[in-house]
Homo-oligomer: A and B are copies of this chain.
Amino acid sequence: MAGYYALPLELLAEEFARLPGIGIKTAHRLAYSVISRSDAEVQSFVDALLSAKRDIHFCSCCQNLTELEVCPICSDEERDQTTICVVESPKDVSALERSGEYHGVYHVLHGLISPIDGVTPENLHIRELLSRISKGSIQEVIMATNPTVEGDATAMYLAQFLEPLGVKVTRLAFGLPVGGTLEYADEVTLYKALENRTILH
């Protein structure tokens, strides 16, 4: 892809192609769309990029991404500050908040223990979690890492770690997804659904 594209357009397409899930064809389409927009629109895009990169950092309490010193969830006095839900990434906070069912606070690990990928407990924001719990007001820690090998391993590791601190540690329930069918459920999910069956009466 060279020569017959204007150079600045080609360079912009290459930048778009560096984004995850954007192939070179889509990147060219996006580059074309940018130059057909007004100067003000492009400037607003540029400002958003610079501001996001400059202003976003980790919440000093829960490590979620925020432009504030302490994120709105951590500083919300209406929320249950004695329950911490531990998640892998900021996206998981969004997902749980969308459900509207959780009223405690969060702790974002920014990764999962994964020796194959070279991620050890030291790479995660575990120290900050321990420091929060050691202050004594936390009553329950919910492990809400994904039900994968790494997610389970991280949850187990943390649970062991937290045991001596005398805090209640729970894990999200696993079972059939609502609206799912037995026929299409995998074996492990079915096993978990049976194992964790609840009493109806």
Identify the A interface with B (CB < 8 A).
1, 3-9, 11-12, 14-15, 18-22, 26, 28-35, 37, 39, 41-42, 44-46, 48-53, 55-56, 65-67, 71-73, 90-91, 93-94, 97
Contacts and interface: CB of A to CB of B under 8 A. Distances in A.
Given A6-B67, A19-B30, A30-B20, A50 B56 contact: no
A51 B97 CA distance: 39
A35 B51 CA distance: 10
A26 B28 CA distance: 17
Tallying the copies of this chain within the complex gives 2
B9 A52 contact: yes
A12 B51 contact: yes
Contacts of A4: 72-73, 93-94, 97
A91 B8 contact: no
Contact of A50 (B37, B42, B66, B72): B42
16 contacts: A3-B72, A6-B56, A8-B52, A9-B65, A12-B48, A12-B52, A15-B45, A19-B30, A20-B30, A21-B26, A28-B94, A31-B52, A32-B91, A34-B53, A35-B53, A39-B53
